[in-house]
Chains A and B, each alone.
Chain A
Amino acid sequence: GQSLEQPSEVTAVEGAIVQINCTYQTSGFYGLSWYQQHDGGAPTFLSYNALDGLEETGRFSSFLSRSDSYGYLLLQELQMKDSASYFCAVREGGNNDMRFGAGTRLTVKP
């Protein structure tokens, strides 16, 4: 079957590091994206991995292992404004359309 699995909720404190995992089963695979969405807002692109390894963008990093059908988003030096939902999304075809996971709601506490 086709699925994306990510934890539904994660809680952490300001300044901490949190890792959000994503495992997937797809018919095709071109890459894994991560999006952030605040309540009432638009999904905002964070990162994209097409190849195995770690991509770092400021406080956020994303990792992909194609052989394990697994990726994660790493958020460092957490800030209150990082409280949001985080979605992993698989690009399955050449048209760039994506299939999203159900999202992980991150709560950052002081």
Chain B
Amino acid sequence: DTGVSQNPRHKITKRGQNVTFRCDPISEHNRLYWYRQTLGQGPEFLTYFQNEAQLEKSRLLSDRFSAERPKGSFSTLEIQRTEQGDSAMYLCASSSDSRDQPQHFGDGTRLSIL
């Protein structure tokens, strides 16, 4: 079990640029979640995949944000035309299908917008 892996760990970019993050879940997990966390706050849910299907999206996920999980394995989260307010830690988590199974989090990608 290699755990949930996220890349890159850190991303610094200028306002207006596009960024893409990658998440590799635990291999046997069908469910994949994206969260955003700012300093002093808990993670906020962004979106959820069951295999390759994106089944739920938060109102936090503006149209500048898009997530994919094309083959039901790894997932990408893209932010277009980044804004200062996008600076945060972006966390990915995965879980199995079984009821009440815990989510396992990756170490996150810290995004800083200059």
Q: Could you list which residues of chain A lie within 8 angstroms of chain B, going by C-beta atoms?
A: 4, 30-31, 33, 35, 41-45, 48, 50, 87, 89, 91, 93, 95-103
CB-CB < 8 A to B43: which residues of A?
A: 43, 87, 100
Flag if A96 contacts B31 (CB, 8 Å).
yes
Pair A50/B33 contact, Cβ less than 8 Å? no
Asked if A96 and B91 sit within 8 Å, CB to CB, the answer is no
- The smallest beta-carbon distance between B39 and chain A, in angstroms, is 10
Contact B33 A97 (CB under 8 A): yes
- Enumerate chain B residues within 8 angstroms of A91, measured Cβ to Cβ: 100
| Shortest beta-carbon distance from A83 to chain B in Å | 16
A95 near B91: Cβ-Cβ < 8 Å? no
- Count CB-based A-B contacts (< 8 Å): 58
Asked whether B55 lies within 8 Å of A98 as measured between CB atoms, the reply is no
Residues of chain B with a CB closer than 8 A to A48's CB: 100, 102
Q: Do the beta carbons of A100 and B101 come within 8 Å of each other?
A: no
In contact, B91 and A42 (Cβ under 8 angstroms):
yes
Complex Cα distance, B31 from A42, in Å, reads 18
The CA-CA distance from A63 to B91 in the complex, in Å, is 27
| Known pairs A97-B33, A101-B42, A103-B40; A45 contacts B102 (CB<8 A) | yes
The reply to whether B56 and A97 contact each other, CB–CB distance below 8 Å, is yes
A31-B100, A96-B95, A97-B56 given; A44·B42 CB < 8 A: no
Q: Which of chain A's residues have a CB closer than 8 A to the CB of B42?
A: 4, 87, 89, 100-103
List residues of chain B with CB within 8 A of the CB of A93: 56
For residue A28, give the distance in angstroms from its CB to the closest CB of chain B. Answer: 13
Closest chain A CB from B76 CB (angstroms): 19
Q: Interface code B89-114, partner A: CB below 8 Å = 1, 0 otherwise?
A: 00101010000111111111000000
